[in-house]
Structure 1
Amino acid sequence: MGRWSRGRSKTAVVPPGARGGTGLPALIQPQLATLVGRPPKGGDWSYEIKFDGYRVMTRIEGGAATIFTRNGHDWTERMPRLAEACKALHVDDAWLDGEAVVLDSNGQPDFNALQNAFDRRSTAEIVMFVFDILWLNGTDLREQPLRARRALLRELMAEQTSDVIRFSEDFPQDPVSLVASACKMKLEGIIGKRGDAPYQSGRSPAWIKLKCTTRQEFVVGGFTRAKGTRSGVHSLLLGVYEKDGSLRYAGSVRPYFSTRATSAFLSRAEPVRREATAFYNPPKPEKERDYLWLDPSIVVECSFLEWTPGGEVRHPIFHAVREDKPASAVSEEPMVAVEGDEPVEADAGSTREVPGPKGALRIGNVRISNPQRVMDPVTGHTKREMVEYYAAIAEWALPHLHNRPLALVRAPEGIKGELFFQKHSERATIPGIEELPTELHPRHPPLLVANSAEALVGLAQMSVVELHTWNAVAPDLAHPDRVIFDLDPDPALPWSVMLEAVALLKVVLDELGLRSFPKTSGGKGFHVIVPLTRRQGWSETKAFSHAVARHMARVVPQRFSAVLGPKNRVGKIFIDYLRNSRGASTVAAFSVRARSGMGVSMPVSWDEIREVSRGDEWTMRTAIERQRSLKADPWPDYWQTRQGITAAMRRAVGMN
């Protein structure tokens, strides 16, 4: 066992050519499989059981193991026995990809038993089948072919004795026979993987799934119960999101809940009750049933015979409520055709560039893959439009980005799919992006900066929608050069209240002697930026911004709140001062937002504030038009402003 730990031997056994990493990644998004109707006829494919459980990514470092769901939620405390077994592996650091399952008396995965284990908080019977290793002892293995990663994983698993962690075997039989056997054993299906392919976060054609039954997630848009009763659940009303963001009714299913499960479901449903249906095509009411509508936030998994021509499921069977998948990502799962040895096309979730047709779009030196991908189903905005916007806005955006550490919001499947927050390059090379020296942010992977138009185009090619930046500029990351106040309103408030609020904040800042500059957030409200000379540290600037927020809440309590949380801003505007901490970030000027409409955060002058009609007033097209038509800079003297936080200012807002 000692061969795996550098503390026990001189070298770790890794494939030839594997490269050293720049630091163990904080999070790795899993590779996802593409649904196909039949297996490829040839090619370098291997096949494994499709386990009926929860996908888990395990990070091991410094004798500690952290278990993440596919969406990056930390579930370590929910599976302590599994975490202990992972800690016992003789490695310095590692990333493992696997599936958490509970096995029945026949040794087969039982999803209901897994769900019950979590419900009872009795997870000792959970085991993890590990099928991939992405990192080992300081070495990034993701660019290595699957067969090399699997060989390394097989050796590692052979040297551990715990029955809690098991190697997921692959099978030599032809896939048609394997699917038939899996179905006979009442398994969910099989997974096919290309042996020569690297690991690709996101959905990829290098992994395929062949299912025994049609099975997927649905959003619960409501439920029914017997007419006139006040408890119980008769059926769940299922929905899937369409490309335009609307929710389609897709049929109903009887869940056959136990008393305990009924109580748990109703506890989740009660806070998201609504008066009107969220379906654009709600079901025709039955006289003997009451219909209770819900905000579409609860996700369940069902199998069914087929889709009807009308878009509903035929003969559905309820399996479980899913806690590990977001409602916003639930749509009718498409089946990709297979021609010869490969699926016809790559899914938008892949983060690797896929070879495209001759004459594919290029902007500068950056090749744009999947330019026709719809990023916002409501407006129809495509990836091409977003890339072209960032290329066109670069001359105005770059001064606000120069040498500022970035935090990125990626939408590989469009803004209605899963969104990923990223602060480091991970393994992908982004054209034009620079990495700051690690000594500027010790004990962390290198921070990213975008200092060129190529960098903005490269980010957009990687489906980065939002650009967030620190309140400090390299190389001096110890002293912020600005304070930002984010006005976050109760959504029920009229826009006139927001205009009044931002004007009141300006009055207070003016009285303190601080010049300020507003911009729309691209979402619900305004950001007010106060530039500073870099004299104060992070603790001083955050304390001051908090004091300003508290001062506003004391002076105008009916309008402002300085306490985080929706319940504290009912009928009010929360002055978000928390963006002034080291490592915190705020959406940058001219950034697109990952929200319906894809609004843009736009700098405006104080004189034109009253003319702004909403926080997402500017779109990608109108933002470019505005900048090209401006006769004067809306932020005159912003770059020349020299001011600091004085003792008199601190006293004025009630600081000691």
Structure 2
Amino acid sequence: MTDTIPTGSHWLFEMKFDGYRAQIAISGPEVRVYTRNGHDWTEQFKVILEPLRTLTKGSVLLDGEIVAIDKAGRTNFSMLKTGIGAGIPLKFYAFDLLEKDGEDLTALPLIERKAILESLIGERDGGDSLQYSHHVVDNGQQVFDAMCAGGHEGVIAKAADGSYIGDRTKTWLKIKCTKRQEFVIGGWRPSDDGRGMASLILGTYEKGQFVYRGRVGTGFSDAMRAKILKQMEAMRIAKPAFAAVPNDIARKAMWVRPELVAEVAYAEITPDGSLRHASFQGMRADKKANQVVLEVPVEEAGSELDPVIGVEVAGALGIKLSHPEKVMHPGTGITKAHLVAYYAAVADRMLPHLKDRPLSLVRDTDNDLAKTFFQKHALPGMPKWIKSGQLTKVKGTESRILWIEDLAGLIGGVQMNTLEFHVWGSDRHQPDLPERMVFDIDPDEGLSFEDVKRAAVDIRDILGAIGLQSWPLLSGGKGIHVVVPLVPEADWTAVKSFCQNFAELLARTEPHRFVANMSKARRKGRMFLDYLRNGQGSTAVCPWSTRARAGRTVAAPVTWDELQTIDRANAFDVFSAAERAQEPDAWEGYFETEQTLTERIQDVVRNH
């Protein structure tokens, strides 16, 4: 979202529709309608299907919006909700074409994709349920003013030469006439007689925290108010899911699981982050609750990490950031507040790799990175957001551990001058069963990064040949970690033995390239394949962690294709990594990969 309208002939402007975003897959007469969450809603939207069945004898994939049109000619979300159940006429406005007759068009400039789309849809009667979304080149202010004067929601500005991304990017900008967005319902305030609902209590998700955003008590019909209350009664919980709620709100509130999503119009967001003059617009079933965030204009969000945001994030979590101006990476100007802002930006991507795993912290003592130390268990004065406890290891010995559960734990780490987070390969609840393997490629000083990349790809291919998928992690230093997710079934003994056998196999077959011995003398001109990170209690740097290095670098997940274009292991700093965390996930599918270290796989490496 933005409050500034871009100018120039490289921008296209379209109406912002008030409906459901959908992708429609067509193959001859066969049509399927999918929501933005991938749900098949063909049956719910059957009223729009007829013209789509005769659109082409080949195949196409369309992107667009399903809307209901009111008597004033405006798209009306409330009518759309009613229309889905009642079967009233709806329309699909197609604004992009992703595929045609098996050809992927997403890399083409938008202006070319739209030309093909317009030719495909052709001129249509205004009553037809299939329509082409027309655009205007440049003149964005005039288009915006006309839309607002007509009572429409706003415009979308799109870069004419942009490829298709399918997510929020700087090439698609939402410009609203009124402020309006989705919020998650976290509870309600009962009416004075105690039998009804006076207002909904709303929130958004911000970097893993459910944040209170105020209330809405107007805009409901009596029937809608009763329907929502009935839904909420079945979702009651004893305590609020919000990170914090004002006392005067909490005193009379009823709490629910934060799963229902409402669309709300409002005048502004107050400095403390709450809504003013909110009005209920309708319920939304097309967006998951955990996807709902506060929409901040891009010029407010900025492209760089703002230390002011860092201080505000810490304060919102109840953490007093001492000396926020303290420089954490000498020669860079990166302060403690910058690092808080960084971890807030990447928390959604980082926490799944970190949460509930025993960890080690690399902390700085002298502000110049010369005297860092590893901390593996609790010390006096440690912030409460970094948890501590004990677990029993495979050998029967007790081990004191630290772990983190949320963004507050990350910020607590920064408050105590933590520069790196290193994690075990297992969850603390199943400490005997690793969930990943890490092959750390550590090159001799004389080797190039091209050597390291070729080694990583070779390791990927060998692992793939025996049935194990892997992902590359730039270490932020000079090497690459090849990371293999596992279903937690094989124990630490099996995993460590496999990794050692694998490393020794490479060292035997290509002794001029690899060595499985950590001796610096033996590593001359070769790469040490470090398998020692795969024992219980051993750690490896967590994806997205900053590094205790002078260049404010980050351990960054990349794709295998990307790796071919990257020229160093410390290619990402906190600024570029923070932006990267807002883009599509380079490790998409990592946590859904189900693969086990079977006896057959172990035997292949053991006996080779």
Which interval holds the TM-score relative to the shorter structure? Answer: 0.5 to 0.7
8 Å CA contact 2:262, 2:283 repeated in 1: yes
**1:320-399 mapped onto 2 (5 Å cutoff):** 320-337=282-299, 373-374=346-347, 375=349, 376=351, 378=407, 379-380=409-410, 394-395=438-439
**1:182-261 mapped onto 2 (5 Å cutoff):** 182-230=147-195, 232-243=196-207, 245-261=208-224
**1:5-404 mapped onto 2 (5 Å cutoff):** 35-118=1-84, 121-158=85-122, 163-172=128-137, 174-230=139-195, 232-243=196-207, 245-285=208-248, 290-337=252-299, 373-374=346-347, 375=349, 376=351, 378=407, 379-380=409-410, 394-395=438-439
TM-score of the pair, normalised by structure 1: 0.51
8 Å CA contact 2:237, 2:255 repeated in 1: yes
Partner residue, 1:456: 472
For residues 435 and 208 of structure 1, do their structure 2 counterparts lie closer, same or farther at Cα, with a shift above 3 Å needed? farther
TM-score of the pair, normalised by structure 2: 0.54
For residues 310 and 163 of structure 1, do their structure 2 counterparts lie closer, same or farther at Cα, with a shift above 3 Å needed? same
Distance 1:127 1:207 in 2: 22
8 Å CA contact 1:434, 1:448 repeated in 2: no
The one-letter code of the counterpart of 1:313 is: L
Distance 1:207 1:518 in 2: 48
For residues 109 and 139 of structure 1, do their structure 2 counterparts lie closer, same or farther at Cα, with a shift above 3 Å needed? same
8 Å CA contact 2:219, 2:279 repeated in 1: no
Partner residue, 2:490: 517
Distance 2:300 2:137 in 1: 21
Quote how far apart the aligned CAs of 1:263 are. Answer: 3.7
Secondary structure of the 1:297 match is coil
For residues 182 and 621 of structure 1, do their structure 2 counterparts lie closer, same or farther at Cα, with a shift above 3 Å needed? closer
Quote how far apart the aligned CAs of 1:252 are. Answer: 0.7
Quote how far apart the aligned CAs of 1:85 are. Answer: 2.8
Quote how far apart the aligned CAs of 1:237 are. Answer: 0.7
8 Å CA contact 1:237, 1:252 repeated in 2: yes
8 Å CA contact 1:63, 1:92 repeated in 2: no
The one-letter code of the counterpart of 2:163 is: P
For residues 227 and 193 of structure 1, do their structure 2 counterparts lie closer, same or farther at Cα, with a shift above 3 Å needed? same
Secondary structure of the 2:171 match is strand
Aligned length: 385
**1:488-527 mapped onto 2 (5 Å cutoff):** 517-518=490-491
Distance 1:263 1:433 in 2: 62
Secondary structure of the 1:182 match is helix
The one-letter code of the counterpart of 1:317 is: S
Quote how far apart the aligned CAs of 1:620 are. Answer: 5.1
Deviation string, structure 1 residues 214-243 (Cα, Å, up to 9, x no partner): 11111111111224533x221001112233
8 Å CA contact 1:58, 1:67 repeated in 2: yes
The one-letter code of the counterpart of 1:332 is: L
For residues 125 and 636 of structure 1, do their structure 2 counterparts lie closer, same or farther at Cα, with a shift above 3 Å needed? closer
Which blocks of at least 5 consecutive residues in structure 2 are unaligned? 306-341, 352-405, 426-435, 442-455, 477-481, 494-531, 546-596
**1:467-616 mapped onto 2 (5 Å cutoff):** 517-518=490-491
The one-letter code of the counterpart of 1:177 is: Q
Distance 2:25 2:598 in 1: 48
Distance 1:100 1:389 in 2: 47
8 Å CA contact 1:50, 1:189 repeated in 2: yes
For residues 519 and 43 of structure 1, do their structure 2 counterparts lie closer, same or farther at Cα, with a shift above 3 Å needed? farther
Distance 1:328 1:107 in 2: 33
**1:611-650 mapped onto 2 (5 Å cutoff):** 639=601
Distance 1:149 1:449 in 2: 41
For residues 61 and 179 of structure 1, do their structure 2 counterparts lie closer, same or farther at Cα, with a shift above 3 Å needed? same
8 Å CA contact 1:223, 1:237 repeated in 2: yes
Secondary structure of the 2:245 match is coil
Distance 2:155 2:466 in 1: 42
Distance 2:421 2:59 in 1: 38
8 Å CA contact 1:303, 1:319 repeated in 2: yes
8 Å CA contact 2:261, 2:287 repeated in 1: yes
8 Å CA contact 2:9, 2:137 repeated in 1: no
Quote how far apart the aligned CAs of 1:297 are. Answer: 1.2
8 Å CA contact 2:28, 2:56 repeated in 1: no
Secondary structure of the 1:55 match is strand
